[in-house]
Structure 1
């Protein structure tokens, strides 16, 4: 076999092998307070972990990072740590502002600035309204969700997250 034919075959085989490698997975960051963290449930039962499992079952090879804070957090604090929370592969941010209140004006301004920062980096923004939590099973503290409640939240988020990933 001529040397040029061997070279062509090796080149084609290398290109085929390279195209079979998985693309770098996108990252989804869930930022918020104790409901995002998964207060009162075991690691893996929080909604970001359950969402990751659901996405994997649908064939999405993504990383879902839980950037929730255990003790509650204001939107000002979320804004201040936003840049350090996001990686270069972040494609979607799920934002849950929690019940810890800034003033209404500060809260609105902070959410607006978070959205602007994400838009500048071409990162999709999904906000979880606090009203979503009212229908889900709660722990005995009356505030935080049970593992089943976090599962329902992940199920409710799943279509929005898939839509956001398809657009990225």
Structure 2
């Protein structure tokens, strides 16, 4: 039984049967006579360019970076990741925060953190030095060594500053508070002056321990810090540039 489409005078390919038969005869004759049939070449399509890999942003710090006391999705690096993605940045934020870490501890583990081969870094250490009353001069020396090593590897840095508690007195707070602007100037780095800006004095944004931001506090930190982070990312060399 013939297909209904053939009964209507159409070939299986949608053309008129007489035209279809005519072309078939031409092709057959060409084969018998050894004549090549010229056909149009298949259109060439350029292979899609592979997307550039995401920028790796190292968040190198202490409990504030690590997201102490919070579910992972509510911590600093996770909220920063979402905020950058929403802004259209292809970035992977690497959580290299260790709760309780000092500047000395950060310096000791820096090479381990750099094994991820980041393209840029946020450096936020010193808060635990201050809480323990450690020498601001030693903290400055440690941070200086961290920033020097990052500079040697040509990793752009945003330095995240900390402010000392006024209860420690001027003899401590003045040299401690000055170390971040001094280091930023020495290494020619952008400085975000105070990690806890807008949060430190608002009890509604702090966990019960009185020290660490809650999820809402982290959201405030990320919102305020985001322009400085995007400026850092925008300063990176573009792929192929």
Q: Find out whether 1:95 has 2:127 as its counterpart.
A: no
Correspondence 1:1-168 to 2 at 5 A: 9=44, 13-14=46-47, 17=48, 19=49, 21-70=50-99, 72-87=100-115, 89-101=117-129, 102-131=134-163, 132=194, 133=196, 135-136=198-199, 137-168=205-236
Larger Rg: 2
**How many angstroms does 1:103 deviate by?**
2.1
Distance in 2, matches of 1:59 and 1:116, equals: 31
Distance in 2, matches of 1:86 and 1:49, equals: 20
Q: Secondary structure at the match of 1:66?
A: strand
Task: Output one character per residue of 1:115-149: Cα deviation in whole Å (capped at 9) or x when no partner.
Answer: 11111112111122224326311111110101011
Compare 132-141 and 115-124 and name the one that shifted more.
Answer: 132-141
Aligned 8 A contact 2:57 2:93 in 1 = yes
Q: Secondary structure at the match of 1:90?
A: coil
Structure 1: runs of 5 or more not aligned: none
Q: Alignment length, in residue pairs?
A: 159
CA RMSD, Structure 1 to Structure 2 (Å): 2.1
Q: Secondary structure at the match of 1:86?
A: helix
Task: Output one character per residue of 1:43-92: Cα deviation in whole Å (capped at 9) or x when no partner.
Answer: 1111111011011001111100111113x111011011112112464122
**How many angstroms does 1:27 deviate by?**
0.5
Aligned 8 A contact 1:35 1:68 in 2 = yes
Distance in 1, matches of 2:123 and 2:116, equals: 18
The higher relative CO (CA closer than 8 Å, separation ≥ 6) is in 1
Aligned 8 A contact 2:198 2:220 in 1 = no
Q: Secondary structure at the match of 2:101?
A: coil
Aligned 8 A contact 1:45 1:147 in 2 = yes
TM-score, with normalisation over the residues of structure 2? 0.61
Flag as ranges the 4+ runs of structure 1 deviating above 4 A. none
Structure 2: runs of 5 or more not aligned: 1-37, 164-193, 200-204, 237-241
